[in-house]
Amino acid sequence: MITAIAELLEHETAGDPISGLKWTRKTTEKIAAQLKRLKIDVSAKTVARLLKEMGYSLRVNHKRLESGNRNPPPRKVRNRQFEYISRMRKKFARCGNPVVSGDGKKKEKVGNFKNPGNSWEKEPYAVYDHDFASDAAGKAVPYSVYDTLANLGFVVVGISHETPAFVVRAIVSWWREDGQNRYPDKEELLILVDSGGGNGWRSRGWKYHLQHELCDRYGLTVTVCHYPPGASKWNPADHRLHSEISKNWAGKPLESYETALKYIRTTKTKTGLRVRARMERKRYATGERITNRQMATLCLTRHKTNPDWNYTLAPHHCEM
């Protein structure tokens, strides 16, 4: 029964990247009704008990709205996007085409700083009593690419800023070092990302670099679906990968970049998650401007459903 519930909630789960807490948009009554259609007759109370065993929890209101989300989309539009993403994931999975989730993890100071959480140690770590940036050896800027079909993570740790150019470089690194070997005959890729940051739907640089560095260079047709504003916790990389990394290095200072990479690479779960990681030492400057002429070079088709959030980029040698 737990397996059936997990399948029903596969695309309906969100989670906290730090605590690992999971939640879903579906009520226990709706889940029980769906199970009944599968010839599994259980009550809503039984569903609630099973959800608790699976790591889900009842949630109360908290002041945790994402900054900048002062005009959230209407619920109807938001729900339509969730449903569309679910359909696209199933469509690509049926064809064996790769589906990846891209997301930037919280930036971390590199040095002998306190890291939230607890760990089993003979002696506590001695760390700085203040988190002054001047004491840091630098900052770690992790961007993750999570392969939802293979349950594999690929994290690129930068040293400067999460710009569109850096984000695309991370995705290109995943494809070059892992993706094209795992999916050698595939020419289509689905990328699930948030609405803001270096991969925001408004970002010209994000689309421009995807076109020229991924689509054109590797002959890939790339479909992008953005989670609605304020819905970053539904991004699979956030609750399936970032939460596990945070638990792995909880309570341990990230004394160096190598230390951070070590904890990322040793992150694993009983369900088979494994993670690769690499450094990106190039510095990326903010404020890049993409002109109208450059945007006109894109081979971009917007989808009928929420066209700002769903679009496909094709390599220039292909007909749209």
The mean pLDDT value for 295-307 works out to 97
Going by C-alpha positions, the residue among 268, 237, 258, 220 that lies closest to residue 104 is: 237
Confidence check: pLDDT of 18 > 60:
no
CB of 111 within 8 A of CB of 129? no
Confidence check: pLDDT of 45 > 90:
no
Residues 23 and 105 in one domain: no
Residues 149 and 41 in one domain: no
230 domain-assigned: yes
Q: Which domain holds residue 148?
A: 75-313
Q: Which of 37-51, 234-248, 254-268 has the lowest mean pLDDT?
A: 37-51
Distance CA 117, CA 210 (A): 37
The mean pLDDT value for 268-296 works out to 96
205 domain-assigned: yes
Residue 252's pLDDT band (cuts 50, 70, 90)? confident
Q: Which of 26-40, 70-84, 253-267 has the lowest mean pLDDT?
A: 26-40
Residues 249 and 217 in one domain: yes
Residues 131 and 214 in one domain: yes
Percent of the chain with pLDDT over 90: 64
Q: Which residue has the higher pLDDT, 146 or 122?
A: 146
Residues 79 and 42 in one domain: no
The mean pLDDT value for 293-298 works out to 96
The mean pLDDT value for 45-72 works out to 60
Kindly report the number of other CB atoms within 10 A of residue 74's CB atom: 9
Q: What is the pLDDT of residue 319?
A: 45
320 domain-assigned: no
H or E element: which one contains 221?
strand 221-226
Residue 73's pLDDT band (cuts 50, 70, 90)? confident
Residues 212 and 175 in one domain: yes
Distance CA 223, CA 219 (A): 13
Confidence check: pLDDT of 61 > 80:
no
Query: What is the CATH number for 118?
Result: 3.30.420.10
Residues 87 and 128 in one domain: yes
Confidence check: pLDDT of 49 > 80:
no
* DSSP line for 20-47: --EEESS-HHHHHHHHHHTT----HHHH
> DSSP assignment, residue 268?
B
Residues 7 and 105 in one domain: no
253 domain-assigned: yes
Q: How many domains does the chain have?
A: 2
Residues 79 and 109 in one domain: yes
Confidence check: pLDDT of 308 > 90:
yes
- Most confident segment among 65-74, 128-137, 242-251, 307-316: 307-316
> DSSP assignment, residue 118?
-
Tell me: the pLDDT tens digits for 188-227? 999 999 999 999 999 999 999 999 999 999 999 999 999 9
How far, in Å, are 36, 46, 65 from residue 30 at the CA level? 10, 13, 26
Going by C-alpha positions, the residue among 102, 111, 126, 104 that lies closest to residue 260 is: 111
Q: What is the pLDDT of residue 114?
A: 64
Percent of the chain with pLDDT over 70: 74
Distance CA 253, CA 264 (A): 13
The total number of residues written for the chain in this structure: 320
